[in-house]
Every structure is written in structure tokens, then in C-alpha cells.
Chain A
Amino acid sequence: MSDQDWTDQQPIVSIKDVHKAFGTLEVLKGVSMDIMKGEVICIIGPSGSGKSTLIRCINALNDIQAGSITIEGQEVHDTKLDKLELRKKVGMVFQQYNLFPHKTALENVMMAPIKVLKQPRDEVEVRARALIKKVRLEGKEDSYPGELSGGQQQRVAIARSLAMDPDVMLFDEVTAALDPETVKEVLLTIKELAADGMTCILVTHEMGFAREVADHIYFTDRGVIVEHGPPETFFESASDPRTKEFLGQIL
């Protein structure tokens, strides 16, 4: 399937039998999932189960040994593929925010559209200010990351990704490093994003949040998807003993 054949009736992200090993350590042992445009997917599971690795394979930060990942019909791990073109379509937010410490919040948001997409500065600035307003950080445009709280930095990081106008957003345990009181504001931002129709793939430990926003939940353990389903059925009637045990520990 090539880029031109893809229509939004087909999965926007399609993961098929993906295997990934670090040396002899096999982290993903045949993972498959299909994500439709506008869907919100939550991946949950115990630490070390390969959740973050999977999400990092989607924008080629990690490579894979076997299987295939396509985004809008384009194979991500095709060696001929221009990774930069792929990453323009896929935004990513990290656990540790990873803002550029030498740039203000506004500059962090403006940098990639100006330098990578070569868009005119004044146009980008208007959009960047709107995005900062959208993540409720009006007035913090000129603050440096070091002057912002974790939750504020994470919302700048979300705005920074959105500035590239991606088709898919990846969230890698974005609230795991935050204080409990700032978790809410970040989750609210993601919820609004999902409501706007953004395709979101989240790795998260926030079960309540997953249940509320997700269209589909995947539970991974030891490199495989153990169980998946819409949140109602997943949380009410999990069948696999591993899922039950995990949910029992966390809920």
C-alpha cells in the first residue's frame, strides 16, 4: 500500500506483528494494532512490558527487527523513507518534557515550524501564541523552561508538538514525572485535544483518565498484547488473569 492509495477509511496507524529486541533482550514479540483517524488509544501495562518501546517505534526513534508499521499507508521502517517527512506527521510528547532549555516557551513552540517547515516567522508566531493560549499558558510566553513547573513545561511540550500540525500525537507517560496537582491540567489539555478529533496514542498509568478518554485500550505484558477492547468492556469484564491481576493492583 503506497501513500497515494491511503484514505482515511483505512487505519491511520497500522502495526503488524512488530518484533523488537535490544541485543538479546526481546521487548516486543509480535504486536499488532490498527488505529483509525480521530481515535484515542491508551496502552497500559506493567513497567518493562514494552509500551514505551512500541510508541517510540511508531516515529522511528527506535527501529524494529520484524513486522511493519505504516502511517497513512507509508511504511515507517522502510530504509528509503525520509524519516524527517514521517516525523512532520507524527508529534511526540515525552515523560521528561525535554523542552529546549535555552529558548523561551514561545521560541520552543515556534522553532520547528520556522526551521523545519520553513514557514514565515510572523505567521508562526500568531499560531504559536494561539497554541500557548490553548494549553492555558497565556502570560508564560517569555518564560524559560527552568522557570516553569513540570505541568507547565509539559503543556508547552504539547503545544510545541502541535505547532507542527501533526496527524497523530504520541504521548509517552507524559504525567509520570509530574506532581499530582499538576497532572490534572495536563490531562485536561490532552482531553480537549482528543475532543478536537486528534488521533492520539497514549502510554499511561492514569486508569481513570484512560477509561474516560480512550476509544480503545490495549493491555501489554512481556512484549505482547494480552487483551484489548473498548474501556467499558475492558475494565468491567477483563478475562485474562494477567489483566485482572494488573487491574487489581492498580485500581
Chain B
Amino acid sequence: MTRSFNTSTDLPVTLEPRYQGPDELGFSRWLGRMPVWVLPLIAAVFLIWPTVVEAQTVYSAQKIMDIMAKWLPLLITQGFLMNVIISFFTMLFGTIAGLFLGLGRVSDNSGIRGFSWLVVQLFRNSPWLVLLFIVMLTLPFEIRIAGTYIAVPDWMKAVFGLSLPIMANLAEIVRGAIQSVPSAQWEAAESLAFSKRQIMWQIILPQCFKRMIPPWMNWYAIMTMATPLVSLLGVTELVTLSRQAMEAEGNNPSLLMPFFGFALIIFFAYCYPIARLTLRLEKKYAVKG
């Protein structure tokens, strides 16, 4: 799995077969390889510099700082926290559904295999925003369970919408990991009288677990970055709140850069360590196998 592989010999050595498709950790590799000083750089470009420039025109630097300080607690506790909650639930549903969809992709039954393929292709290649709109507009605002109506909050609908592409992409990771286990493992287990289901759940999937973690985390970071999409559907989260805060402060253009700059920084600060960890785990598991 190590991509930057340098052979120090010209002798014909057998390299382990490497994944040939597109880089499944592309996003984490891009983000995780940034040096740490990118964070203060973003802060400088989006917060300090505009503040200083604007200070000579409309607002004083002090005034902008005061406004930001006033809104920050709300932006974090009501805003970004919501993005994190949405990302957790999306990952939870996406992982469970993706696992079974991935199993469907390697099913013995050609009907299940074909259906799973179709679902994967459909949701992997559709624009996320379109999926979000469809789910938001088709899901009822309340569901009836045993005679009682339970309201489905908007953010929960957004979770379902985001879960669909995550499910499809994770299904492909599950399928790839299952198929990367040598078929000899199946034969050995079959000769010990394990049933197909036992082999999958007790022998094959546990072996896949480690190699699925890095790409799984990669998708988590990508999806977390995409959670502000739900602001277009009116769900309260960081970007929605930032716009409302700016409106409350009179919609002054001087506030654009500080507010959205803050959003950029907090997403970076959250996803950057995840990307670093993803790359570390990839390296670690590549050695141990």
C-alpha cells in the first residue's frame, strides 16, 4: 500500500502487488502533508490581514474583534458542533449501510450483486447536493410509529442525504478489502467446515478491518468538509449561523472575511489531525499487513 516506493536495487525483486486504481487516500494525502504552519497562515490571511485593511475604512480592528468575540461561542456550540454531530451520524449510518452494500457486491447471488452494483454506481456518481435536495423534499417531516408521530428534524434528514454517497463509497472500500484477502483463506476455512457466513464474518472481515480504517477516515474528513452543504437547505450549522450573525451585524462586507475565515480555520483544525492520523495508520498497516 506504500505509494512512494523506492527500490534501491535493479535486481529483479518481487514487489507486493500494489493498488493500481485512483489513490483512495488522495484527500488525506493532500491535507495531511501540509505543514503545520498552514493553520496560522490561514488565520493571518483571512482574519488579521482583512481586519487591518478594513480598519482604515469602516470598522476599527477593535470593533471587528469585539463582534467576532461576541459571536464565537454561538458559532462553535450551535454551529460547528452541529457539523460534527451531522458528520458522526452520517458516518454511523453510512458505515452500517455501506458494509452490507459492500457484502452485496461480493454476494454469490447474481441478483443481489447486480442490485448492489447499481445502487453503488447511482449514489457514488450523483452530485451530493442533488441527493440532499431529493432526500430533504421527499422525506416526510414526521413519521408514524405505532400510532405516535415522531418529528424528523431537518438535520436528521440531512444526515440521511449525506449518508447515501458515503454508503456507496464505503461499500467500494469494503468490497476492495474483502477481495484483497487471498482466496486460499476461504479454502482453508471451508476445509475446516466453516459455513460461508461464518467465513465472511469471523475470518475474512476481521482481516479486512485494519486495511479499511485509513480509507474510512479519509471519507470521514471529506464528508465533514461537505457538511456546510446542508446550510443551503436551511439546517442550522456553522455557515448558516455565520450568515445570520453577519445579517444581525448589518451585513457589512467587512465582516465577510473574518466570519468565513473562521469557518475555514475551524474545519482545517478539525480535519488536519484526522488526515495526519490517516496517513500514519496507512504506513503502520502497510508494514504489518
B184 with A96: CB separation less than 8 A: yes
- Where chain A touches its partner, the secondary structure class is mixed
CB neighbors of A among B114-152 (8 A): none
Per-residue contact bits, chain A 77-101, to B (CB 8 Å; 1 contact, 0 not): 0000000110110111010101111
Tell me the complex Cα distance, A194–B289, Å.
36
Contacts of A96 in B (CB 8 A): 184
Interface size for B (C-beta < 8 A) is: 19
- Contact at A92–B193, with CB atoms within 8 Å? no
Query: Contact mask B169-206 → A, CB, 8 Å, 1/0?
Result: 00000000000001011011111111100100011001
CB of B254 within 8 A of chain A? no
Query: A61 contacts which of B185, B191, B206, B289 (Cβ < 8 Å)?
Result: B191
**Which residues of B are found within 8 Å of A112, using beta-carbon distances?**
192-194
Per a CB cutoff under 8 Å, which of B185, B193, B202 touches A98? B185
B207 — nearest CB in chain A belongs to which residue? A102
Q: What is the distance, in angstroms, from B207's C-beta to the closest C-beta of chain A?
A: 5
Question: In terms of DSSP, what is the predominant structure of the interface of chain B?
Answer: helix
The answer to whether the Cβ of A160 comes within 8 Å of any Cβ in the partner chain is yes
> A152: which B residues are within 8 A, CB to CB?
none
Known: A100-B203, A102-B207, A146-B289. A160 touches B192 (CB 8 A): yes
Shortest CB distance A76–B (Å): 13
A68 close to B (CB within 8 Å) = no
What separation, in Å, do the CA atoms of A85 and B194 have in the docked complex?
Answer: 10
B147 to chain A minimum Cβ distance, whole angstroms, is: 42
A243 within 8 A of B: no
Instruction: Name the interface residues of A39-64: CB closer than 8 Å to any CB of B.
Output: 59, 61
A sample of 9 cross-chain residue pairs with beta-carbon separation below 8 angstroms, ordered by A number, consists of A84-B195, A98-B185, A100-B207, A101-B289, A102-B207, A112-B192, A112-B194, A115-B198, A116-B194
